[in-house]
């Protein structure tokens, strides 16, 4: 006979955390999102915890983690009861799901995400849930889900760097006297999701 443990989904509101200012003066940021338990029937949830932590090293990757943060924990359900600040949606037979919202503060002095061949700083959100077991010989079922979270840093809005960074920028380069490219942006700070113009001459 087939027993379904269900499936756990971790859905952050954003895949990145943006900190404004240097590590010495940056304020805390917030990371929030949803945890969804997909199951054919309603399950008794004993505990649900979401952790923000440095990403663990991969045995197949020689790079070493150098993050200076241990982990930050947000307890959503404990001993079968949701916390007073937790938002819980009961089991829905139409969607076969239960849902919880979470939110936690992230200190402004943590290092930004960085990757190199020998070392890296990376972070992830991990949700761990324990429910009543679907079989008699096991006391509980444990489900887990993890998603990467990028930490980025930008100058504070009231700093002198912000005024300088807001100026338009144009960078030109020539390769072997054959190809000349010019990149133009409306600001010295270009976010990953923002496009900028590149023109060239061959």
Tell me the mean pLDDT in the region 58-68.
79
The helix (H) or strand (E) run that includes residue 161 is helix 160-165
Edge-to-edge, what's the strand order for the sheet holding 87-92? 7-12, 29-38, 97-106, 87-92
The model's confidence at residue 3, banded by pLDDT at 50, 70 and 90, is very low
Q: What is the pLDDT of residues 6-62, one digit of tens each?
A: 899 999 999 999 998 888 888 999 999 999 999 988 888 999 999 999 998 777 777
**Residue-wise pLDDT tens digits, 126-174:** 999 998 765 555 557 899 999 999 999 887 777 666 666 667 777 788 8
Decide: 20 and 30 in contact? Cβ < 8 Å: no
β-pair type (7-12, 29-38): antiparallel
**How far apart, in whole angstroms, are the C-alpha atoms of residue 79 and residue 65?**
34
Whole-model pTM: value is: 0.73
């Amino acid at each position: 006979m087939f027993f379904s443990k269900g499936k756990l989904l971790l859905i952050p509101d954003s895949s990145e955390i943006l900190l404004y200012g240097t590590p010495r003066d940056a304020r805390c940021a917030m990371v929030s999102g949803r945890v969804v338990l997909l199951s054919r029937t309603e399950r008794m949830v004993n505990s649900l915890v979401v952790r923000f932590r440095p990403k663990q090293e991969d045995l197949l990757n020689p790079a070493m983690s150098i993050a200076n943060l241990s982990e930050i924990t947000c307890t959503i359900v404990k001993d079968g009861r949701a916390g007073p600040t937790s938002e819980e949606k009961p089991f829905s037979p139409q969607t076969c799901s239960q849902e919880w919202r979470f939110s936690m503060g992230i200190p402004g002095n943590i290092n930004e995400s960085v990757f190199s061949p020998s070392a890296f700083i990376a972070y992830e959100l991990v949700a761990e849930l324990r429910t009543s077991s679907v079989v008699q010989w096991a006391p509980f079922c444990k489900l887990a889900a993890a998603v990467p979270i990028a930490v980025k840093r930008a100058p504070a809005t009231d700093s002198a760097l912000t005024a300088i960074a807001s100026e338009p920028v144009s960078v030109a380069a020539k390769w072997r006297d054959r190809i000349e490219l010019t990149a133009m942006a409306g600001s010295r700070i270009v976010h990953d999701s923002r496009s900028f113009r590149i023109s060239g001459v061959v």
